[in-house]
Structure 1
Amino acid sequence: MITYKKAKLNQICSMQTLVKKEIESGIILPRSDDEIATNIRSYTLAFNGDELVGYSALHIHAPNLAEVRSLIIKNSCRGLGIGSGLVRELLKEAKSLEIKQVFTLTYQKSFFENLGFEEISKEKLPAQKIWADCIKCKHFPVCNEIALIYYP
């Protein structure tokens, strides 16, 4: 049975191990241990028993705008609904915080569309997203990610 829990500081090492291959391939941006620690409250982790099998973060950009980011599922656990469960947990959190818009940048357009997200132009994203995160990406400025938005 999959359970979802808020992250704890002592789980950062396990989180970094899980995401390592996706960072190396350029699918997910690297985040330092310090950056994860600073934002630890934004992360929700998925467990199968005691095993960490995935996580994602709800990063708040403004009073009415947040982002689903750093979504990672262990390779052997993909296709089991864990990613959808994580995103739903984050969307519930966004709704409880009264956030009006949740966006994501992704290569998995249909995955997010199946959860109610709609494609938007990247130009509609906040400038701080581009300069704070995207500039760190090895694909910047030629990016194939798709911007999508959800209205809780």
Structure 2
Amino acid sequence: MEKLEFIKPDVLDVKAMQELVYEDVENGNILDRNSNEMATTIRSYTAVKLNEQFVGFVAVHIHTVELAEIRSLVVKKEFRGKNIAKLLIEKALFEARHLNLKKMLVLTYKKELFEHFGFEVIEKASLPDTKIWADCIKCKHFPICDEIALTLDI
């Protein structure tokens, strides 16, 4: 595979990022984020490109001075299984450490992927209320959440 390029996207990339994540939004794996919401949080994203095309991205969303969340991890279907998701998680964890955060949270269907990094399963009841009312309530599966919540001390 050719060399991957990791970038911090800008607002002009929002449309391409939404197209990349469209199928995962439709099937309920990732929350839908409109253009304005993505634009206001664009600094939280790290994207990966190959030949000038997006093949994946991840976001680090800060909840508190100690807690951040890995969000919107997506890799284009034809590039899955090539460790790109792991590289994006590594970038997210590096960023969180750089920001002096203490703990990372993730809600996922891919528990094993995050356990590889030392994440441990937690009860969803321990999630911050701000997470539930700001994000979870928008999910097509709410209130019957079948994602797994995990955290990592960093």
Q: Aligning the two structures, in what range does the TM-score lie when normalised by the shorter sequence?
A: over 0.9
| 2:28 corresponds to 1:26 | yes
Q: Give the ranges of 4+ consecutive aligned residues of structure 1 lying more than 3 Å apart after TM superposition.
A: none
For the residue of structure 1 that corresponds to 2:7, the secondary structure is strand
SS in 1 for 2:68: strand
Mean CA deviation greater in 134-143 or 116-125:
116-125
**What is the CA–CA distance in structure 2 between the aligned matches of 1:52 and 1:141, rounded to whole Å?**
32
SS in 2 for 1:115: coil
Q: CA deviation at 1:151?
A: 1.4
CA drift at 1:123: 1.4
1:108 maps to: 110
Q: CA–CA distance in 2 between the matches of 1:142 and 1:74? A: 27
CA-atom RMSD in angstroms: 0.7
CA distance in 2, matches of 1:48, 1:112: 24
1:126 aligns with 2:128: yes
Identity of matched residues, %: 47
Q: How many residues were matched structurally?
A: 152
- For residues 88 and 116 of structure 1, the distance between their equivalents in structure 2, rounded to whole angstroms, comes to 12
Distance in 2 between residues matched to 1:141 and 1:33, nearest whole Å = 25
Long gaps (5+) in structure 2: none
- Taking the aligned partners of 2:83 and 2:5, their CA distance within structure 1 comes to 12
Aligned mates of 2:106, 2:84 — CA distance in 1: 17
1:138 positional shift: 0.8
Structure 1 residues not aligned, in runs of 5+: none
Residues 67-86 of structure 1: pairs in structure 2 closer than 5 A: 67-86=69-88
